[in-house]
Structure 1
Amino acid sequence: MRTDYLSAQEAASRLGVSLATLYAYVSRGHVDSRPGTDGRSREYSGSDIERLIERRQAGRGAAQAAAHSLAWGLPVLETRISLIRSHGHYYRGQSAIALAESDATLEDTARLLWDCGEHDPFAITPMRQWPESVASLLCHHTLPPLARMAAALPLLALDAEHPHSSSPLHRRNYAAQLLRETVAMLCATHPDALPIHQQIAASWHIEDAGLPELVRCALVLCADHELNASAFATRVAASTGASLHAAASAGLATLSGPHHGGATARAYAFIQDMLSEGHPADKVRERLQRGDTIPGLGHPLYAEGDPRATTLMNALRETRPHPARLAHIQKLADVMQALCGTRPNLDFALAAIAYAYDLDADAAMTIFAAGRMTGWLAHALEQQESGSLIRPRANYVGRMPVRDE
């Protein structure tokens, strides 16, 4: 760092300001000055000038970091819910992959994510009958699961117990009831105390002993993934004091976008298209030559491949549904990695499950939404208990107003 003194013109030039601004810095005590050697002019501390430049650059860096943090950048808030590492993600310090590979259910995962301790909100939450307004939605057989769920959430909120209670136990009981009702609405059935993975698998009417276990594994892996777009939207809503139903509605609306939950549907359509005829390698090459994107491939947070997909694809191979379909899916995954140098992600794995069992894309989305609802509720609970409002600032880059002199 410089320790010599500069002339006024040199100091102003280094700072990129006018002489008047330099004198203002001196008057505020930011820059030391002393009489010049000629006795008439003054000199200005080079070290103070460098310090001002460094402070200004740090300010710009902070502003740039804040802007970049909203797109896979620096963390913007604190959470105790989940952590992402290159080899996998963690729920309150416990490996999500290890939980999925054990016998942990989505209810077990919810109790962990919601920090329930010894309290089990699923054990004491009664099953209530659907309100008539909600039950009528089951008659609309053409409604996709997410649309049915989106329509039901505000209606379920109308007669929910303790929607704005500050009691941690009430909030967690409320969350458990909401999760069960969400799953029932996704499955177009009534709330049930049956484990969630069994309820979802049963709704597809498939005779396969391995399917419930596969769904259980997928639900645990999908339960949370730190501050993704839908979790952030949920937290913003919860920070205003909105109920869990309203906060979850914000998460669901965000999930519906093609760049979030819609990625699973795109991966399913891709698998269907690539495997509708033979030679998937040729079809993938055609897409790449046209400049088309390949759905279900890669993840910005996992440079070496999405470990959730690896775990889920391994579990799918163990169940061995429709061996021919499974072999074709595996061949497609190998082709994608060989041609693109990137491994399939969670969206591909969920779509692969649906395709392997001859289900539609809604089945994959049902798993994703049911699992992720658990994480949304965890983020809503944490945000409500923090008592803080999420209100970031915007960096205005538009036309500046003109003031009358």
Structure 2
Amino acid sequence: MRDPEPSPSLAERRLTTRETAELLGVKPETVYAYVSRGQLSSHRVPGGRGSTFDTAEVTALARRNKRESAGSQHTGGELSVRTRVTLIEADRYYFRGIDATELALRHSYEEVAEWLWTGRMEPGVEFRAPAASVAVARRAVDALPEHTGPTDRLRVAAIAAAAADPLRFDLSEDAVLGTARTLIPTLVAALPPARRGHRDTGPLARRLWARLTGRDADAVSLRVLDTALALLVDHDLAASTLAVRVAASARAHAYAAVSAGLGVLEGPLHGAAGGLAHRTLLDQGDAAPVIAEALRAGRRVPGLGHRLYTGEDPRARVLFSLLEEVPDAAPALAAARDIVATAARHTPLHANVDLALAVFTASSGMPATASETIFAVARTAGWIAHALEEYQERPLRMRPSGHYVGPRPPQPLP
């Protein structure tokens, strides 16, 4: 089907509301909705009652809407959105066409984040936070109750950092990238350190380590943490990433978009899943009863299975390989292998990244919530990448129509 084209007579003059609606294939009310969103400009005819519209502007919008309907559609009952960030296929995943596991093994988290944002590799890049932003975020986080979870702390830190940034509504690419490079280290710096006397120096992974455990950082464990951050930086349109794109579609600033992602991340089926696997490893004696009980109750076995991979999660495979070099990880690795082997006798599920993170956090003296913190800090970079994409799209396109199934009107007043 060809793109909609106005007739020669229409191209020579401005369009009426009715003609604009016909060319766009919408109702007249929708035309005025486009005007209110800034997608169309209208002019009232002097002495007339209706508005008129520029023919070229309407035609361009019609073409853009057609492209959007081809790129954002429901396939098999699921929303599909064009993206150049991450591809997942055949039990592997890629960042801008490059194998993500290879990137994570060869580059730091900050370098992988830059690649995701710009398509350029910046060797040796480190993210640093402005002192003023850190001070505001720390004061806000310190005011929270002691039992506050990590995602709540990060969300409060993001909101505080936003309040301290008067230029946060600048959605240009350079401005959003500047926000990203300072927001991520601000989130880390705002978290309370696990022990006193820590100095915020070195790569981001070292600074984050000091927020997760009181143990001294060794080179092997820091490499595992940095690799985990790089592996988790993005994973296509996960639930939290979709929330970020919805916020960005409404032109929320980058801090607000990240806050939307953090809100979704707290669910037990997303960012908190690693904590459940951590507790399973610590509580486990014999794996068989634990797995049997979960299967009997129809619950997921923590750390097993992933809807996008038929085999082992490639992120788990990389982390398990690195954890072999961590001496303190041996007991947790053995427990994880027991869970996987026992489950294999009952269900075709493989280890996922949550189980690998659980082995790392449990063997590093970290709390069960540590994997949630790692996940959130890592994924912030991916959220920014998706927000950057969405800012280039038509505003408010992430607005599905409701399928009403309630009682048909008119109904009597209650």
**Common fold, TM-score beyond 0.5?**
yes
Corresponding position of 1:23: none
Identity %: 32
Alpha-carbon distance in structure 2 between the residues aligned to 1:397 and 1:195: 53
**Structure 1 letter corresponding to 2:92:** G
Alpha-carbon distance in structure 2 between the residues aligned to 1:133 and 1:287: 40
Larger CA deviation: 216-225 vs 194-203? 194-203
3-state DSSP of counterpart to 1:257: coil
**Cα deviations by residue, 1:242-295 (Å, 9 ceiling, x for unpaired):** 11110101000011112221222222222233x2x3x22243234434544312
1:234 to 224, 235, 244: 244
Corresponding position of 1:248: 258
1:299 to 296, 306, 313: 306
The answer to whether the Cα contact below 8 Å between 2:232 and 2:378 also exists between their aligned partners in 1 is yes
1:335: how far off? 1.9
Alpha-carbon distance in structure 2 between the residues aligned to 1:252 and 1:121: 28
Alpha-carbon distance in structure 2 between the residues aligned to 1:80 and 1:191: 38
Alpha-carbon distance in structure 2 between the residues aligned to 1:341 and 1:370: 31
Alpha-carbon distance in structure 1 between the residues aligned to 2:306 and 2:127: 39
Alignment of 1:371-390 (within 5 A): 371-389=378-396, 390=398
User: In structure 2, do the counterparts of structure 1 residues 171 and 343 end up closer, same or farther at CA, with 3 Å as the change threshold?
Assistant: same
1:84 to 85, 88, 100: 88
Corresponding position of 2:110: 107
TM-score, normalised with respect to structure 2: 0.73
Alpha-carbon distance in structure 1 between the residues aligned to 2:117 and 2:303: 29
User: In structure 2, do the counterparts of structure 1 residues 255 and 269 end up closer, same or farther at CA, with 3 Å as the change threshold?
Assistant: same
Larger CA deviation: 299-308 vs 121-130? 121-130
**Cα deviations by residue, 1:90-130 (Å, 9 ceiling, x for unpaired):** 1111111111222x111111111111647899669663233
1:184 to 189, 196, 199: 189
The answer to whether the Cα contact below 8 Å between 1:224 and 1:374 also exists between their aligned partners in 2 is yes
User: In structure 2, do the counterparts of structure 1 residues 124 and 337 end up closer, same or farther at CA, with 3 Å as the change threshold?
Assistant: closer
Larger Rg: 1
TM-score, normalised with respect to structure 1: 0.74
User: In structure 2, do the counterparts of structure 1 residues 239 and 188 end up closer, same or farther at CA, with 3 Å as the change threshold?
Assistant: farther
Corresponding position of 1:351: 358
Q: Which runs of 5 or more residues in structure 1 are unaligned?
A: 1-61
1:162: how far off? 2.5
**Structure 2 letter corresponding to 1:94:** I
User: In structure 2, do the counterparts of structure 1 residues 184 and 66 end up closer, same or farther at CA, with 3 Å as the change threshold?
Assistant: same
Q: RMSD value over aligned CA atoms?
A: 2.9
**Structure 1 letter corresponding to 2:368:** A
1:195 to 189, 198, 203: 203
Alignment of 1:80-229 (within 5 A): 80-102=84-106, 104-115=107-118, 117=120, 127-129=130-132, 130-132=134-136, 134-138=138-142, 140=144, 141-186=146-191, 188=193, 192=200, 194-203=202-211, 204-207=213-216, 208-229=218-239
For these two proteins, the number of residue pairs brought into alignment is: 333
Q: Which runs of 5 or more residues in structure 2 are unaligned?
A: 1-69
**Cα deviations by residue, 1:19-43 (Å, 9 ceiling, x for unpaired):** xxxxxxxxxxxxxxxxxxxxxxxxx
Alpha-carbon distance in structure 2 between the residues aligned to 1:126 and 1:148: 17
3-state DSSP of counterpart to 1:393: coil
Alpha-carbon distance in structure 2 between the residues aligned to 1:68 and 1:152: 38
Larger CA deviation: 304-313 vs 374-383? 304-313
The answer to whether the Cα contact below 8 Å between 1:127 and 1:191 also exists between their aligned partners in 2 is no
User: In structure 2, do the counterparts of structure 1 residues 191 and 179 end up closer, same or farther at CA, with 3 Å as the change threshold?
Assistant: farther
Corresponding position of 1:366: 373
Alpha-carbon distance in structure 2 between the residues aligned to 1:116 and 1:169: 14
